[in-house]
Structure 1
Amino acid sequence: MTTSRWTPALLPSLTGKTFVVTGGNAGLGYWAGEFLARRGASVVIAARNRDRAHRAISSIHTRAPRADVRFTELDLADLGSVQTAAEALSNDPIDGLILNAGVLGQSKRSTTKDGFELMFGTNVLGHFALTAQLAPTLLATPGSRVVSLGSIAHRFFELDLDDLQSDDYSSFRTYARSKLAVMLLGFELDRRLQKAEHGTRSIVAHPGFALDGLSAARPDIGSKRSPALVRTGLGAFAQGKDAGALPIVRAAADPLAQGGEYWGPDGWEQLSGNPAVVYARTRSRDIRTASALWNIAETRTGTPFVI
């Protein structure tokens, strides 16, 4: 683990660049948006809740008064909403598409508007359809990047292509498999981009074990710090969501980041630490599984992903 702490201040100026952050109204997405805006980037918060998004914009403006931050409505659990958002976002260049939004866990199985299991439909299919529809814009923007959010949870389960709808439902297993699927598609996207000799790159990043209570307080978005004693106890193996956003920010904007990499904390078990290129389980880079999953995603979303 490195001793000097990386900070977003080490990034070059991002003035003139635009980053779209799904779920940028809270948590990791909020912090990624704030850090990018403070380096001069234009940030688009693509989220469901307009009020929460505008509170996030106000919070960012408190730290970066001149920042260009705006809102686009996006519900990843509704492919109609995804299409509408993609049409709105495709009018301007996109330097970075950060696929952050997602469903973490549901005690009972539920479905999206289109009938997909909620976590797979939101975390995987919604983002796949959004990226596919924004592909012409991304490919036309020199040096653009797509950053998918993986998770240490990908270590615990293999992907079952015959049960992507989680008919045999378990909340944590379904979440872990959805994140493994996200990683498979993220790495597969970069393979296809490089094969086609495009300059756009796809990178996967994860936040480690990141908790709101360990983050710096952001009252406007309802983020409060835990008591000092709790922070001391949790800080031994976890970090705030502000720190958890740093691998995402590096993957999206650091000139050193390369396509096909996996960024995360460099500490014990990747739970916390400095943002760095880290190891992902072999299952997340399996070409055969990724290709089959890609075809399934195209079919189920009705969205060809042309590169």
Structure 2
Amino acid sequence: MSGPAPTLPDLSGKTFVVTGGTGGLGYWESEQLASAGATVVIAARTPEKGEAALASLRRHVPSAGARASFVRLDLADLASIADGAAELAALPRIDTLIANAGILSTGGGRSTTADRFETMIGTNLLGHAALIARLLPSLRAQDTARIVHLGSISHEFFRLDLDDLQSNRTPFRQFRSYGRSKLAVMTYAFELDRRLRANGSTVASLVAHPGFSVDELSPPRDILPAPKTGNPVSRAAYRLIGQGKDAGARPIVAAATDAAAAGGQYWGPDGWRQLKGDPAVVGAKAYARDRTMGRTLFARVEELTGVSHDLPA
């Protein structure tokens, strides 16, 4: 176990869309939000996993049964994103979009999405950006809507190369591509918030990350995979520097719900090197907030996805 559940405000009447909510951090975000009375919509690729996640929510948060639903959405396919966004836009309201889903590993070398984007940048950045652009009208209909993007400590280890955004020109290395994709997500998110402010919108765009969170320290759930190394020695080692994924979800949920959260912030654990701890506003590398890079990346995102945010610089 990773400690007591967080105390959240009453979220009754509010709707949260969580991409990738069928497992990992996204599932824990959904369970914590549902526990506070929120209506949760899990947007993910596989209906069978969606039904399993909803069943788990009903078991662990019995009151969530009538307030949780699933929408099919494949972030690696722009056509699926358009269909999923249309279904989500038909909801009575969307208060917060948690852009949680992401690809950590391709399981091998370089691969591509249905639209021939490199898989990590195509899913983590471009897929979410296309979804966000399509859902902005629904979010702008609320007075205090939020978009929470999933960042990562890995953004500290790399710089963006906009001439090689999709790893076409250099040898593909998974961790580098992942780290660059997360830096790109953060750069896009901060630029999005600047544009929302400049265009008079009350929608807030902010970033959160889970620190070093692992299955080995998480409470068991039937839908989640058994930890690969769940022995007492490994758990003790992980506990020194990490936390369960339920705890890793808390900074993301805090960014989505805390009254002090505001656009442009970066949330994460408050412990040593942001690896574990309580949710707090933390520091990001300055280059993640570079305005010139942000403007250029934002234009590239709209060009590649073919979807406009209708937010002039």
Q: Are 1:104 and 1:119, in contact at CA under 8 Å, matched by a contact in 2? A: yes
Percentage of matched positions with identical amino acids: 51
Q: Are 1:213 and 1:240, in contact at CA under 8 Å, matched by a contact in 2? A: yes
Taking the TM superposition and a 5 Å limit, the aligned residue runs for 1:15-164 are 15-67=12-64, 68-92=67-91, 93-106=93-106, 107-164=108-165
**Structure 1 residues 23-47: Cα deviation after superposition (integer angstroms, max 9, x where no partner):** 0000000000000000000001000
SS state of the match for residue 247, structure 1?
A: helix
Taking the TM superposition and a 5 Å limit, the aligned residue runs for 1:258-273 are 258-273=262-277
- Shift in Å, 1:223: 4.8
Q: Are 1:6 and 1:274, in contact at CA under 8 Å, matched by a contact in 2? A: no
Q: Are 1:203 and 1:258, in contact at CA under 8 Å, matched by a contact in 2? A: yes
How far apart in 1 are the matches of 2:6 and 2:147?
19
Q: Are 1:265 and 1:275, in contact at CA under 8 Å, matched by a contact in 2? A: yes
TM-score, structure 1 normalization: 0.96
Q: Are 1:52 and 1:221, in contact at CA under 8 Å, matched by a contact in 2? A: no
Q: Which amino acid aligns with 1:252?
A: A
How far apart in 2 are the matches of 1:276 and 1:223?
29
Q: Which amino acid aligns with 1:293?
A: L
- Shift in Å, 1:231: 1.1
**Structure 1 residues 186-205: Cα deviation after superposition (integer angstroms, max 9, x where no partner):** 11111111112211101100
Q: Which amino acid aligns with 2:273?
A: E
TM-score, structure 2 normalization: 0.94
Taking the TM superposition and a 5 Å limit, the aligned residue runs for 1:165-184 are 165-167=166-168, 168=170, 169-184=172-187
Taking the TM superposition and a 5 Å limit, the aligned residue runs for 1:169-208 are 169-208=172-211
How far apart in 1 are the matches of 2:285 and 2:303?
27
- Shift in Å, 1:256: 1.3
Provide the aligned length of Structure 1 versus Structure 2: 302
- Shift in Å, 1:7: 4.5
Are 2:305 and 1:301 equivalent residues in the alignment? yes
SS state of the match for residue 279, structure 1?
A: coil
- Shift in Å, 1:63: 1.7
Are 2:286 and 1:282 equivalent residues in the alignment? yes
Q: Are 2:208 and 2:255, in contact at CA under 8 Å, matched by a contact in 1? A: yes
Of 217, 231, 235, the residue aligned with 1:231 is: 235
How far apart in 2 are the matches of 1:296 and 1:127?
14
- Shift in Å, 1:8: 2.7
How far apart in 2 are the matches of 1:75 and 1:253?
26
SS state of the match for residue 43, structure 1?
A: strand
How far apart in 2 are the matches of 1:18 and 1:69?
9
Q: Which amino acid aligns with 1:231?
A: R
How far apart in 2 are the matches of 1:110 and 1:262?
30
Q: Are 1:135 and 1:306, in contact at CA under 8 Å, matched by a contact in 2? A: no
- Shift in Å, 1:6: 8.3
Q: Are 1:157 and 1:177, in contact at CA under 8 Å, matched by a contact in 2? A: yes
Query: Which 5+ residue runs of structure 2 have no aligned equivalent?
Result: none
SS state of the match for residue 46, structure 1?
A: strand
SS state of the match for residue 33, structure 2?
A: helix
CA RMSD of aligned residues (A): 1.3
- Change in Cα spacing, 1:98 to 1:91, as seen in structure 2 (3 Å) is same
Is 51-60 or 243-252 further displaced after alignment? 51-60
How far apart in 2 are the matches of 1:209 and 1:256?
24
- Shift in Å, 1:233: 1.2
Query: Which 5+ residue runs of structure 1 have no aligned equivalent?
Result: none
